[in-house]
Structure 1
Amino acid sequence: MPPSRPAQKSLQHRTISSAVAEELRRRIVDGEFRSGFQLRQDALAAEFGVSRIPVREALMQLEAEGLVKIHPHRGAIVSELSTEEIDELFELRAWLEPRLLKASAPRLTEADYKRLNEILQEYSSELRAMHISRWGELNTEFHMVLYQHAKQPRSLAIVANLLQESDRHTRLQLSLTQGMERAASEHAELLKLCTEGRISAACSLLKTHIEGAGKSLRSYLEEHQKVSAQK
């Protein structure tokens, strides 16, 4: 049976919105659209010669990636991409999180491991489906479940805040640097080490995992901003 017209129309919108998102993403990452820049749907629709629907879908995609923030009355605003902020967030995480894991891992229960495996399965599914908005949420939950038994409430609260602050950076790192498969693999290895009681190895891997994510995102942004400056 041939596809219906609504399905064809929906596919066309997704194709157009993907093309619009790709071009807007390039301009933001390359620094053509700087932080605070307002992305007006009408102007973008006119520039690209499309309706507002695929533009709106593209902006929603970029919000899921952390590149823009959609405000009720101001519309879509380009988020700030600061290499200094990236360095600070990921350095703090790499210092604090292995300490929490060392204290918490020996106390993880069967129920905890069941939930951690469920998160990994869902994470893998969302990666295949390219549901970027879920990547950061699942990443945060995975890490917090690992640390929940540390009995260090102040450190745990700080890390929870850092994970929230770095959520958009995590989504950017995964989507822009093609780090999805590496993240999934390292999460699985991290869980395996904890299951086997190899806590020191798990803490070392966690530190490397966090530092690697921060460095790959920083390098990506620096390279693209350098290319943009040379144009």
Structure 2
Amino acid sequence: MALKLKHKTLSGALMDEIRQAILSGRFAAGTQLRQDALAETYGVSRIPVREVLFQLEAEGLVKILPQKGAIVSELSRSEIDDVFDLRLLLEPRLLLASAPSLQEADFVALDEKQAEYVRAIAMGQVNDYGRLNADLHMAMYHRAEMPRSQQIVASLLQTSDRYTRLQLSNSAAMDKAMAEHAELIRLLREGQWERSADLLRNHIATVRTDLIKVVSGQ
């Protein structure tokens, strides 16, 4: 499965391949990711593999341990609490900073992203759930003049990708999430910013509660 790409895009392509393998469960939690085996699988040298594993560690998908190397991270209650506490702190703040500056073109884009997300769910395109969820959330926040907070939240949403797939494996949770996204867009369009922030807090908190139940069940 050699990645025949220009050098400047090789690390990005390799990152996407290994990340998707983890998120899809092909590399299950607890799996040891050996640099030489990955290099052979993807037809690259060990240098870009090592770089990618360090980046995946920063995303929380991999842990690099002494004597063992890179191990796919377990789904854990502590990580859920860490990620979602930060999301609850930062996302409503970003939303309130962005909302007054949202324009009609932004709402058109939000409607399109919501429709794309609904289509992906209808077609069972699980690999797209996390990306579409992150795109939709970040589109609500992009008018906030808070680049550092936006960068942190974008990273948190990427880290949440595996959890998003897990949570949306429940049809009731999926329907609720889609309804809440649609309601968020409606409230923002109507200028009901405080209500939209309250709904966003409840939305994030509900996702966390659902995930804790799933992880506990596992």
TM-score (norm. length: structure 1): 0.64
| 2:47 counterpart of 1:84 | no
| Cα deviation 1:116-151 (Å, max 9, x = unaligned) | 000111111111111111111111011111001110
| 2:185 counterpart of 1:191 | yes
Instruction: Tell me the residue number matched to 2:14.
Output: none
Instruction: Tell me the residue number matched to 2:169.
Output: 175
| 2:156 counterpart of 1:156 | no
Paired residue for 1:139, among 133, 153, 161?
133
Query: What amino acid is aligned across from residue 158 of structure 2 in structure 1?
Result: Q
Paired residue for 2:203, among 178, 191, 209?
209
Partner secondary structure for residue 179 of structure 1: helix
Paired residue for 1:103, among 97, 106, 109?
97
Consecutive aligned runs of 4 or more in structure 1 exceeding 3 Å deviation: none
The separation in 1 between residues aligned to 2:138 and 2:104, in whole angstroms, is 16
| 2:210 counterpart of 1:219 | no
The separation in 2 between residues aligned to 1:105 and 1:204, in whole angstroms, is 13
Q: Could you tell me how far 1:183 is from its partner in structure 2?
A: 0.7
Partner secondary structure for residue 150 of structure 1: coil
Partner secondary structure for residue 181 of structure 2: helix
The separation in 2 between residues aligned to 1:222 and 1:204, in whole angstroms, is 27
Query: What amino acid is aligned across from residue 190 of structure 1 in structure 2?
Result: L
Partner secondary structure for residue 191 of structure 2: coil
Partner secondary structure for residue 133 of structure 2: helix
- Work out which structure has the larger RCO, using CA pairs closer than 8 Å and 6 or more positions apart in sequence: 1
Tell me: CA distance 1:113–1:176, structure 2 relative to 1, closer, same or farther (3 Å).
same
The separation in 2 between residues aligned to 1:34 and 1:144, in whole angstroms, is 28
Residue ranges of structure 2 left out of the alignment (5+ in a row): 1-24, 34-60, 63-70
Tell me: CA distance 1:130–1:205, structure 2 relative to 1, closer, same or farther (3 Å).
same
The separation in 2 between residues aligned to 1:83 and 1:166, in whole angstroms, is 13
Q: Could you tell me how far 1:79 is from its partner in structure 2?
A: 4.6
Q: Could you tell me how far 1:152 is from its partner in structure 2?
A: 0.8
Count of residues in Structure 1 that have an aligned counterpart in Structure 2: 159
Q: Which is greater in Rg?
A: 1
- Asked whether the 8 Å contact 1:186–1:209 carries over to 2, the reply is yes
Partner secondary structure for residue 164 of structure 1: helix
CA-based RMSD of the aligned residues comes to 2.4
Instruction: Tell me the residue number matched to 2:159.
Output: 165
Instruction: Tell me the residue number matched to 1:3.
Output: none
| Cα deviation 1:153-207 (Å, max 9, x = unaligned) | 1111111111111111111111157421111000000000000000000000001
Q: Could you tell me how far 1:37 is from its partner in structure 2?
A: 3.3
Query: What amino acid is aligned across from residue 129 of structure 1 in structure 2?
Result: M
